[in-house]
Structures are given as C-alpha cells and as structure tokens.
Structure 1
Amino acid sequence: MRRKVTVLEFVAKNWLLLGILLCIVFASVFPKLGSKGGPLKPEYTVKYGAVSLIFLISGLTLKTDSIFHTFKQYRLHLFIQLFTFVLIPLYAQLVVKVLAFFGVNGWILRGFITVACMPPPVSSAVILTRAANGNETAAIFNSVLGSFLGIILTPISLLINLGFTTVVPLMGTVVQLITTVLGPLMLGQAIRNCTSFRGHTLPLGTVSQLALIVVIFTTFCDTFETPEMGLTASDILITVFFVLMMQISLLWVSFHLGKYNKKYFEPSDTIAIVFCSTHKSLTLGIPILRIMFHGFSHLSQISLPLLVYHPTQIILGGMVVSHLKEWGQKHRRPPV
C-alpha cells in the first residue's frame, strides 16, 4: 500500500513552488516594496545582486570538464535555439490566427507575436533546471547564447512576423550579460579551480533558489504596479487563459521531443530543453516593446501578453520541477 505523504514532506518537496505562490500574494499586497524605484531597489539589488549570486554559485558547483563536454553538444544547443527562435514564433502565428477568428483584440495579438520573438531569460530557466537536476551547464550556455543571438535574431524575427523592427540596445545587453552572468560564472570557476573551496558545507542550491524567489517577487511587484490603461477585464482574462494554454502546450511538446530523441539527449538534457526552449525574457522584452511602440496609446495592451507570460512560465516551471526531477532520476542512464 502506498504511504500517505505528510504535510511536512509535501512542503519539503514543493517548497520552491510554495515560495513562488507566497511571492505572488505578498507582491500583490505590497507591490511598491519590490517595484523599480522602491525600497528594495531591485534595479540594483536584483539585477546585479541576486542574479549575479545565482551564477556565482553555478560557477562554484559546476565541474570544469562538464562545461567542456557541454560545448560539444551541438545538437542540444541547435535544438533549443531553433525551438526558441523559429518554432515558437511559427506556433504563435497559428495561435494568433485562431484568436483573430474569435475577435480577440488585435493589439493583444501583436503582443503575442512579440513575446514569441523574444530571447530566453538568463536566470529562471537555469535555476529551474538546476532544481530539477537537469543539465545546468547546458541551461547556462543556451541562456547566454540565446540572449546574444536575440540581439540579432529578435529584430529580424519581428520584421518577418510584424512587418517592422527596432534597434536592440546592443551595448547595454552585452554589458549586463558580462557583469551579471559571465563575470560571476568565471569568478566561481576561478575559486573552484584555484582553491580547495567547493561549498559542500553550504546549502548553495537552496541559496540559489532563494535568490530566484527574490527575482520573482520583484518581477511580480512590477507587474502589479503596471497601470492597466485601456485594458478591459475580458482582455486580461483572455490573455491569461491563452498564455497559459500556449505555455502548457509548449512544455508538453518540448518535453516529448526531447524524451523521444534518446539517441541524442540524456534525461538531464531533456529537462534543460523544457525550461530553456520555452522561457522568454522580460528584461529584454520590455525595453524592446517601449522602443517599438513608443507613443502608441495601445502600449499596455501590446505589453500584456509578455507581462503575463513571464510570471506564468515561473509558476508552471515551479509546478513541474518535482515531477521532472523524479522522471530524470527514474530514467537516468547508468554510467558506462
């Protein structure tokens, strides 16, 4: 007979998801606390503090030989980048055609297309992959690679899918990636290889996940502080519903494509595929939207799908982490 799971065991297993849900509630009550310009100053503490800490810990814990091995997994990287920059925009075009048939607001539909053209984020996908015991090195590599590719591919994709484009803030994006991702990652590797410190006595995984929760809290604070000018209740409900359906279907497709390509992808690779290929960046997305649609009275409607997509991907990610972790452990190939 299967033993019943106690409340404490459930909390211990799903504490990341529960923490995310508590963040949403707390952010809805005190949105000014973690919004941009608020007391927590997330534009500095989160952007350069929490995110940098996440990648410093990754640098401390990643084995250098696993990094070199990951560079050789070109099929994995190609799959993730094609899924991100080609398959999702094509899928979004199909979804938009269906929604247009039902008379959904045309500006919201443009927002869906814009979301689909965005590059991946550099923090949430990595932490969720790590929490699920996936290929963390591949997650880091593809998050960084996708962000750099996004500088070129996102404007091209927008031009193809919307008919016009914008200039992505090249230097700002490069500097941010170096200072918050590559710099801390290399520092962690230097500490690991030049000293005897490995962090085994410290709960580094828990610290990383707590840092992610801080990032999530400030993201939701900004979301709740965003004015809803020109948005009706039906606009919001329709957007939330279809973003949710879109993400669930993308998670399902990415998982099964990775799962059935056993010849090329380990279970840990499939876990990285699930998070890295379906997540989209709010950090780069909002500036692009503001440049593209500066002065448009419909900016809030265009921005709505991205504002909904970002927190939804984190919530869904938190919900599937424990299931993917169990699946990965069950199907992990024995060492040769």
Structure 2
Amino acid sequence: MARRILFWNVIRKQWLLVGIVICIIFACIYPKLGSKEGPLIPEITVKYISVPVIFLVSGISLRTETLFYTFQQYKLHLFVQIFTFVCIPIFMQFLVIILRIFGVNPWILKGLITVACMPPPVSSAVLLTKSAQGNETAAIFNSVLGSFLGILVTPISLLFNLGYTTLVPIFSTVFQLTVTVLFPLLLGQVLKKYTEIREHNMPLNTISQLALLFVVYTTFCDTFMTADIGLDAIDVLITVALVLFIHFVLIVISFRCAWYFRNYFNASDVVAITFCSTHKSLTLGIPILRLMFQGYSHLHQISLPLMVYHPIQIILGGIMGIQMKDWIQKQSIRRLPI
C-alpha cells in the first residue's frame, strides 16, 4: 500500500514527463492523427492555438515589474545569444572535423552544422524553464529575441559555416512571432491588470503544460510519419546517438559556464540560460532547409539531425528539468540566513 502511494505521488509530481512519454507512445501507434494535414490540423492548432495559449498564460502569470527588470539583465541576454549563435556553431565545426575521421555520413554532418546555426524555439525552452522554476521572463525574452535575431543571423551563419544561404521570409516570420508570442503575452498582461482572471484560481500551469504536450505529440507524429530518408538503419541510430550526446554536452557546458558567473546570475537565471541557449527551432529550421536545399535528393538526410534534435531537447529537457528544480530549491535553502 505504501509503495502504491509512493508510486502515485511520483507520478503526480512528475506528470509532465510521464505525459511526454505517453505522447510519444500514442504518436508511434497512430502518427497520422497529429501529423501535418492530419485530422488535428497541427499547422493551425499548434501554431495559432497551443503556442499562443502558452504565452497567454505566461502573460497572466508574470508580474509586470518582473518583465521590466528582465529587460535590464543585458549580461544574461548577451550570454544566451552569444552561446546560441557563436559558441554552438564553433563547437559543432570542431566536432564535425573529428566525426569525419570516423566516416560519418557527410550529409548528416551538414545537417548537424545546420542545427548549430538555428535560432532558439519560442515555446519548449520557456515551458521547461517554467516547470523547473527558472527565470521564466528571461526565457521568454531570449526566445523571442533569438527568433528575431535568427531572421538575419541564421542565413549569415549558414553562409559562413556551410557556404549555403537563403532569404528568410522576414515579413511572415515577424507576423507569426507577433501573433503567436507577443500579442498573447501582452493580452495576458492586460487581462491580469484589468480583470480578476488571476484571482479565480484557474489551473494556469496545467493548461500551459497540456498545450506543450499537444505540441510534443504533433511533433512526434510528424517524426514517425517521415518518409524513407534514404539512410541505413545504422546511420539513423548514429544520428540519434550523436544528437543525444551533443545536446547533453551543450547543456552541461552552458550550465557550468553560467554558474561560473554566479556573481551575475542566480540559480533561476542559470536554468533559463541553460534551456534557452541550447534549444533549437524546428519551426523556423525546416522551412529554411527546404529553401536552401530545394530539389536536392539529400534534403531528408540533412533534415534528419534537426528532426531528431527537436524531440530530444524536449525529452532530455524534461528529465534535466526535474534535477534543476531540486537544484534551485537547494540553492534557495543555502541562501537563507542562519
């Protein structure tokens, strides 16, 4: 009986991670339901419902004074953007040089470099930071800032690292970020200030986490629906192993570097930095790859690392988020006056 109670307490405490696992299982069983152009229409329900709901809830939950304070944390923002757009591409170039020696498929290596040049996403890093009790406002600010910077920086970075470049559709990207991120965030702030929505004890965190689970489910549906990518099973396994290793190493490096500067960043800042600086956007990445390599027979091989990176950053982030939440609580206890 005691073991059963303990089991359900663990499930209740870590229900987001359990939900991610369940989403992966259901996506594997019936991927057509949540894939693009499937019955759930994720190109609309994810982009214009789930993601806006996440940021609407954030707008309702965040204190306005916290937002203004976050704008002043320029050292944190500088750290995240430099790590995202400079350090990761440099790290990946050195790693690719080593991997070439071992005969890894050259198109997969190009895909890894492409992943390194991508901007951060606007939802997963924010939700994982929030679930780990990190600095949510900093995560939102840097996710949005990184996405806007990616419009200009990513093509330049691709040109420098791969020799390929493309024109990112600036107007449509800015419009999408405004509609799905900025407007819901501002609307949440307005609702909080001029209505009593925050006093109704609505399960806002649960709502935003359910929205994230829907994003996770549809992402994996697309992954499992991907047609034959023209690679051997061993190449696919190597890609998964490499992406898992790379993302874990980047998380460790980002976390260690940020904590080294703990005179400037507190524990919650470090968590936000870790997630925001290591996550990469599938939403912006796939259209860029399709523009860059339109008509190429190797498009699927190049896209594979990014397709794998996206779900892995969610799964690994969910696991690491549990550890980071406990770490933040321990740091808070250490800072209490004796």
Give the TM-score normalised by the residue count of structure 1: 0.97
Over the matched positions of the two proteins, sequence identity in percent amounts to 62
DSSP-derived class of the 2:174 partner: helix
Residues 311/208 of structure 1: CA separation in 2 closer, same or farther (3 Å cut): same
CA distances 1:122-154 after superposition (whole Å, capped 9, x unpaired): 000000000000000000000000000000000
Structure 2 unaligned residues grouped into runs of 5+: none
CA distances 1:258-299 after superposition (whole Å, capped 9, x unpaired): 222111001000010111000000000000000000000011
| Residue 255 (structure 1) aligns with | 255
Is the counterpart of residue 152 in structure 1 residue 172 in structure 2?
no
Runs of 4+ in 1 over 4 A off after TM superposition: none
Is the counterpart of residue 175 in structure 1 residue 194 in structure 2?
no
| Residue 141 (structure 2) aligns with | 141
**Separation of aligned partners in 2, 1:229 and 1:47:** 26
CA distances 1:215-243 after superposition (whole Å, capped 9, x unpaired): 00000101111112311101101100010
Is the counterpart of residue 325 in structure 1 residue 291 in structure 2?
no
Question: In the TM superposition, what is the alpha-carbon distance from 1:202 to its structure 2 partner?
Answer: 1.1
Q: Indicate if the aligned counterparts of 1:60 and 1:199 stay in contact, CA closer than 8 A.
A: no
Q: Which amino acid aligns with 1:115?
A: V
| Residue 103 (structure 1) aligns with | 103
| Residue 198 (structure 1) aligns with | 198
**Separation of aligned partners in 2, 1:107 and 1:170:** 27
Question: In the TM superposition, what is the alpha-carbon distance from 1:197 to its structure 2 partner?
Answer: 2.5
Structure 1 unaligned residues grouped into runs of 5+: none
| Residue 302 (structure 1) aligns with | 302
CA distances 1:102-125 after superposition (whole Å, capped 9, x unpaired): 001111100000000000000000
Is the counterpart of residue 291 in structure 1 residue 291 in structure 2?
yes
CA distances 1:20-53 after superposition (whole Å, capped 9, x unpaired): 1111111011111001110001111111001000
**Separation of aligned partners in 1, 2:124 and 2:336:** 29
**Separation of aligned partners in 1, 2:104 and 2:251:** 24
**Separation of aligned partners in 2, 1:203 and 1:144:** 25
DSSP-derived class of the 1:35 partner: coil
Question: In the TM superposition, what is the alpha-carbon distance from 1:211 to its structure 2 partner?
Answer: 0.5
Q: Indicate if the aligned counterparts of 1:61 and 1:199 stay in contact, CA closer than 8 A.
A: no
Is the counterpart of residue 61 in structure 1 residue 65 in structure 2?
no
Q: Which amino acid aligns with 2:319?
A: M
Question: In the TM superposition, what is the alpha-carbon distance from 1:200 to its structure 2 partner?
Answer: 5.3
Q: Aligned pairs, how many?
A: 333
| Residue 18 (structure 2) aligns with | 18
Question: In the TM superposition, what is the alpha-carbon distance from 1:4 to its structure 2 partner?
Answer: 11
**Separation of aligned partners in 2, 1:317 and 1:278:** 10
